[in-house]
Structure 1
Amino acid sequence: MRSLLHRTILLTSPSHSLIRRTSLSAMATTASSSLLLPSISLNNLSSSKNASFGFAAKNLSRSRISMSVSAGSQSTTVHDSLFADYKPTSAFLFPGQGAQAVGMGKESQSVGAAGELYKKANDILGYDLLDICVNGPKEKLDSTVISQPAIYVTSLAAVELLRVREGGEQIINSVDVTCGLSLGEYTALAFAGAFSFEDGLKLVKLRGEAMQAAADAAKSAMVSIIGLDSEKVQQLCDAANQEVDEADKVQIANYLCPGNYAVSGGLKGIEVVEAKAKSFKARMTVRLAVAGAFHTSFMEPAVSRLEAALAATEIRSPRIPVISNVDAQPHADPDTIKKILARQMQMLTTGDISSPMGDNSKDSLIQRT
C-alpha cells in the first residue's frame, strides 16, 4: 500500500518521506516520469527526482459550456465553467493501468476504512480483489479486467491509509484539485464526490471488460517512447505507417510529459515503431503491460457499452476541480463529464468540446491507460 500511495499522491519526496505538497506551478519539475513505465516496480517510485509532469495549471484554458439538466419535474442549469477561476494549491494525481504490482494493498488490512473498500469491492466484483492484489499471480493482476478495478480500489484505500497517519487528514483536506491518468480519472472523480465508490467501481469494472473485449477483437498494442519530443514521435509513427497496412497503423495516444509519449496501434505497426526508434534517437522503448491499443479507434466497440453505463449512473458536480484527460480542463456539468469519460477511451481530443488551448495543448494532457 505504501508504494501505491507514493503513486497516488501527486508528488513524492526524494527523501523517501510519505508525501510532499507543493504549488501546482512546481508540478512540471517534481512529479515522477516513471508513471509511464509499468515495468518499473512501484517500490522504486519514491526515488525519482528530476522527472517532468505534463500538466501546467497556468496554461489551462477555461470551458464556458453550460447545459440544462433535468431534476425531477424541475430543470436546473449547471454551468460547466463553475471551476473556471479556481486557484489550486495542492493536488492528488491518481495512477492508471500499469501501476499495479503484486503486494499492493497489503497495509490496508490494518486500517478499517481501507479494508472496508475491498470488502465492498468483493461484493460488486464477485471475487477476492485484495487477495489478488497482495498475492497475485502477476499475470492475473496484469489483466485489464482485474488491474483496472484493483488500481481504482487500492488508490482510494491508499487515501484512507494516509488519513489515519499523522497530518494525513490535514493533507487530504488541503487538496483543492485532482486528476488521474486515464483510469485514474475515475478515481479522481470518486475522490471529488462526483459519484459513489460503488458506482465508480461498477463503471471501472465494465470499462475494463469492454476494453479487454475490444482488444481481443484485433491484435494491437502500446509502446512508450522515451527521449523524443512529440514532433519526433509523430515522425516515427509516420515512418512506421509507410510500412504497414491500414489495420496496423499507429498513432500517438498519450501525451504524458515532455520526452515521454505512448504510441498505440496494430501489433505489426508497434513492432516497426520499436525497430525504428533507435534510428530516430529515442533513448528507449517500453512495451506497455496493457491488453491493446487503448485511446485509439481500436477501442470504438467498447464506447457504446460505456456510454450506456454512464447514462445510467448518477454523476454530480465534483466538490473540487477534476482535470479531464481529454482537454486538460475542469468540468462541473455531469452530462459533460459523462461524454468526456466515454470519449477518453478512444481519443485524446474531440471536435464537440471546445478546447482553445493553442498548438501546444497536447503536451499538457495527462492521459494514461
Structure 2
Amino acid sequence: MLGIVYAGQGSQRVGMGQDFYEKYESFRKTIDGATKTVSAVTDMDVAKLCFEGPEEQLSQTKYTQPAMVAFAIGVTKLLKEAGINADYTCGLSLGEYSALYESETLDENQVLELIAKRGKYMAEASEGLDVKMAAVMGADRESVMECCDKANSELKGEKIVQAANFNCPGQIVISGDAIAVDKASAYLKEAGAKRIVPLKVSGPFHTKLMKPAGDKLAKELKDISFNEEKSKIVFNCLGREKTDEESIPALLEKQVQSSVYLEDSIKYMVDAGVDTIIEIGPGKAISKFINKTVDDVKVYSIDTVEDFENTIKELRA
C-alpha cells in the first residue's frame, strides 16, 4: 500500500520546482494557473517567487503556503498521470491541503484559494506579536508538556507556549510567545533535552494564538462542498482518519490552532498496511522523520525532476 505525505512550511527554497516547470507542461500550467487563483487573495507571481525569490519574501507565511501547495499539486498531477495514486495521504500542517487535493476531496482551485487565505489569515494573526518556534531534540512528550505547563503557570497564562508539532520520536516543536518559549526551553534543558533549535518562522503556529485565523477560516469553509475521499486522509490534529461524526471544515479550523501529530499519522498509516511512502516537497525533512518513526518502510522523496523520474522507475519495477 502507498502513502503520500506532503512537506510543510520551513522546507521551501528558492528554485523549487523550476526543473519541473521547464520539463513538464502540466506542471507549468499548474504554476501559471496558481498565480491567477492566488493573486485574487495576495499579490503573488508564483513562478517568479519560487524560482527567483528573494528568499526572505518566499519565507513569509502568506507567500510560502501557496508556493508550497502549488508545487505539491504540480508533482501530484504528474504522479497521477503516471498512474500512481495514494491509498493513504497526509501532510505536515499546510501539507494537509495538498492531501485534500490528492484525495480529490477538493479541486485545484479550491485548494489554492483556501491555502492563500489560510496563509494571509495566519500572517495577520501573527502581526505585532513577539513569538518563537523551536524544535526540541531528545525529549519525550511528557517532559515537553510538563515544561510548557510550568512556563505557562509561571506566566499566569498571560503569555503561552504549546507543543505544536510531534514530528518523530525525539523531535517535538514548541510554539508561542517568545518569553514563554524561552522559559519552556530553559526548563527542558534542565530536564535533559539534548538541543533546542530555533526555527525560521514568522508566527506562533499551531497554538491558540492562531484562533483569529481559525475563526476566519471557519467562515470561508462554510461555503465549500467537500467530495468523498478517493484516498484515505489522516488528519493533522487527530493522527488518524476522521470519524463520520467529525467534519473536514471543523478539523481544518482546529488544525491551525492545535498540535500536528505527524508521528502518530505515520504510525497510523503503517499500522493500516502502508509499506511505501512518497514525500512530496522541497528537502527531505519528512523522510527523515518517517525513518525515525517506523521500520521496514520504503521511503521516496520528490524534490527534483530526477527524484520524480527515479521514483517512477522504482515503483514500476
Moved more, 325-334 or 265-274: 325-334
Partner residue, 1:111 = 24
Q: Are 2:95 and 1:184 equivalent residues in the alignment?
A: yes
State how far apart, in whole Å, the 2-side matches of 1:251 and 1:260 are.
Answer: 14
Q: CA 1:161/1:134 → structure 2, altered by over 3 Å: closer, same or farther?
A: farther
Moved more, 122-131 or 155-164: 155-164
Q: Are 2:228 and 1:321 equivalent residues in the alignment?
A: no
* Local SS of the residue matching 1:248: coil
* Local SS of the residue matching 2:172: strand
State how far apart, in whole Å, the 2-side matches of 1:120 and 1:94 are.
Answer: 20
Read off the aligned partner of 1:214 and give its amino acid letter.
A
Displacement after TM superposition at 1:334 (Å):
10
* Per-residue CA distance 1:119-140 (angstroms, 9 max, x = gap): 1111122231111111111110
Read off the aligned partner of 2:68 and give its amino acid letter.
I
* Local SS of the residue matching 1:286: strand
Tell me, yes or no, if the aligned pair for 1:317 and 1:334 is still in contact at 8 Å: no
Q: Are 2:51 and 1:134 equivalent residues in the alignment?
A: yes
Tell me, yes or no, if the aligned pair for 2:96 and 2:235 is still in contact at 8 Å: yes
Q: Are 2:89 and 1:199 equivalent residues in the alignment?
A: no
State how far apart, in whole Å, the 1-side matches of 2:243 and 2:253 are.
Answer: 16
The structure whose RCO (Cα within 8 Å, separation 6+) is larger is 2
Displacement after TM superposition at 1:287 (Å):
1.8
Tell me, yes or no, if the aligned pair for 1:316 and 1:334 is still in contact at 8 Å: no
**Structure 1 gaps, min length 5:** 1-88, 350-360
State how far apart, in whole Å, the 2-side matches of 1:120 and 1:255 are.
Answer: 34
Displacement after TM superposition at 1:275 (Å):
3.7
Displacement after TM superposition at 1:218 (Å):
2.6
Read off the aligned partner of 1:364 and give its amino acid letter.
D
Displacement after TM superposition at 1:300 (Å):
1.0
State how far apart, in whole Å, the 1-side matches of 2:72 and 2:186 are.
Answer: 35
Give the counterpart of 2:180 among 254, 269, 273.
269
State how far apart, in whole Å, the 2-side matches of 1:99 and 1:219 are.
Answer: 23
* Local SS of the residue matching 2:164: strand
State how far apart, in whole Å, the 2-side matches of 1:334 and 1:192 are.
Answer: 19
Tell me, yes or no, if the aligned pair for 2:135 and 2:196 is still in contact at 8 Å: yes
State how far apart, in whole Å, the 1-side matches of 2:170 and 2:58 are.
Answer: 29
Normalised by the length of structure 2, the TM-score is 0.76
Partner residue, 1:156 = 73
Displacement after TM superposition at 1:246 (Å):
2.3
Tell me, yes or no, if the aligned pair for 2:31 and 2:70 is still in contact at 8 Å: yes
State how far apart, in whole Å, the 2-side matches of 1:333 and 1:152 are.
Answer: 27
Displacement after TM superposition at 1:94 (Å):
0.6
State how far apart, in whole Å, the 1-side matches of 2:37 and 2:125 are.
Answer: 22
Tell me, yes or no, if the aligned pair for 1:229 and 1:259 is still in contact at 8 Å: yes
* Per-residue CA distance 1:296-325 (angstroms, 9 max, x = gap): 110111122101111112211111101111
Displacement after TM superposition at 1:330 (Å):
2.0
Q: CA 1:150/1:182 → structure 2, altered by over 3 Å: closer, same or farther?
A: same
Displacement after TM superposition at 1:328 (Å):
2.2
Tell me, yes or no, if the aligned pair for 2:164 and 2:207 is still in contact at 8 Å: yes
Give the counterpart of 1:293 among 201, 204, 213.
204
Q: Are 2:264 and 1:364 equivalent residues in the alignment?
A: yes
Partner residue, 2:146 = 235
Read off the aligned partner of 1:107 and give its amino acid letter.
D
Give the counterpart of 1:279 among 176, 190, 201.
190
Displacement after TM superposition at 1:163 (Å):
5.8
Partner residue, 1:123 = 36
Normalised by the length of structure 1, the TM-score is 0.66
State how far apart, in whole Å, the 1-side matches of 2:57 and 2:262 are.
Answer: 33
Tell me, yes or no, if the aligned pair for 1:228 and 1:282 is still in contact at 8 Å: yes
Partner residue, 2:309 = none
State how far apart, in whole Å, the 1-side matches of 2:202 and 2:155 are.
Answer: 21
Tell me, yes or no, if the aligned pair for 2:240 and 2:265 is still in contact at 8 Å: no
Displacement after TM superposition at 1:242 (Å):
4.7
Give the counterpart of 2:3 among 69, 86, 91.
91
Read off the aligned partner of 1:124 and give its amino acid letter.
T
The alignment-based identity, stated in percent, is 31
Give the counterpart of 1:101 among 4, 9, 13.
13
* Local SS of the residue matching 2:8: coil
Read off the aligned partner of 1:105 and give its amino acid letter.
G
Displacement after TM superposition at 1:362 (Å):
9.4
Tell me, yes or no, if the aligned pair for 2:168 and 2:262 is still in contact at 8 Å: no
Tell me, yes or no, if the aligned pair for 1:321 and 1:331 is still in contact at 8 Å: no
Tell me, yes or no, if the aligned pair for 1:317 and 1:333 is still in contact at 8 Å: no
* Per-residue CA distance 1:350-369 (angstroms, 9 max, x = gap): xxxxxxxxxxx996257x9x
Tell me, yes or no, if the aligned pair for 1:145 and 1:208 is still in contact at 8 Å: yes
Q: CA 1:220/1:146 → structure 2, altered by over 3 Å: closer, same or farther?
A: same
Question: Number of matched residues?
Answer: 262
Displacement after TM superposition at 1:261 (Å):
0.7
